[in-house]
Every structure is written in structure tokens, then in C-alpha cells.
Amino acid sequence: MPDSTDQVTPRSLSAADRLALGALVLLYVSAGLDLLPAGTVAVNMLLVIGLHRIVS
């Protein structure tokens, strides 16, 4: 099976990036369960910052 080197795997992320990704997942799940208000500016800003960090 060929190993694709351009895919992002958990091993290729640094510890800080994994922590940020975990926090984003928790925020998303919490917002989905109405534990946090999903429309708040703070949550949206964290999502944008986290996604930008992961992509870049």
C-alpha cells in the first residue's frame, strides 16, 4: 500500500497543534450540544484561528 506523504496525520502534527485540534473538536461538540452558545464571536474566532494554524 503506497504511503501518501501529503496527508496530515496525527503523527505529523506537533503537540501544540494536536492540543489546538482537540480544543477545536471539544468546542465544536460543546456548541453542537448547546453547552456553549454556538453563535458567539469568541467561539467563531477560536475556530478561525485554530483552522488557520492547522492549515498553515
Residue 8 lies in a domain: no
Task: Answer whether 22's CB lies under 8 Å from 53's CB.
Answer: no
Range of the domain at 17: 13-55
Task: Give the count of domains, the chain.
Answer: 1
Residue 3 lies in a domain: no
Residue 29 lies in a domain: yes
pLDDT score of 1: 47
Is the model's pLDDT at 7 over the cut of 70? Answer: no
Residue 1 lies in a domain: no
Reported as a pLDDT band with limits 50, 70 and 90, residue 4 is low
Is the model's pLDDT at 2 over the cut of 70? Answer: no
Neighbours of 53 (CB within 10 A): 13
The predicted-structure confidence for 11-54, as pLDDT tens digits, reads as follows 676 777 778 888 878 777 776 666 556 567 777 777 778 877 77
Q: Higher pLDDT residue, 47 or 10?
A: 47
Residue 7 lies in a domain: no
